[in-house]
Amino acid sequence: MVNLEAKYEELQKLIERLILYANDGASIIVEGKKDELSLKRLGVKKGVLCLKASDKNFYDFASLIKGEAILMVDFDKEGEKLNRKLTSELTQMKIKVDNSIWRKIKALTKPEVKGVEDLAKYIEKIKIKILTSNF
The mean pLDDT value for 101-129 works out to 95
Non-local (6+) Cβ contacts of 124 within 8 A are none
User: What domain count does the chain have?
Assistant: 1
Task: State pLDDT tens for residues 1-10.
Answer: 448 999 999 9
Asked if the model's pLDDT at residue 134 lies above 70, the reply is no
Task: State pLDDT tens for residues 66-89.
Answer: 889 999 999 999 999 999 999 999
How long, in residues, is the chain?
135
Q: Does residue 132 fall inside a structural domain?
A: no
Task: State pLDDT tens for residues 26-57.
Answer: 999 999 999 999 999 999 999 999 998 777 78
Please report, for the domain that includes residue 17, its CATH number: 3.40.1360.10
Q: Does residue 68 fall inside a structural domain?
A: yes
Q: Does residue 87 fall inside a structural domain?
A: yes
H helices present in the chain, as ranges: 2-23, 33-41, 58-62, 77-92, 100-109, 119-133
Q: CA-to-CA distance for 57 and 127, rounded, in angstroms?
A: 39
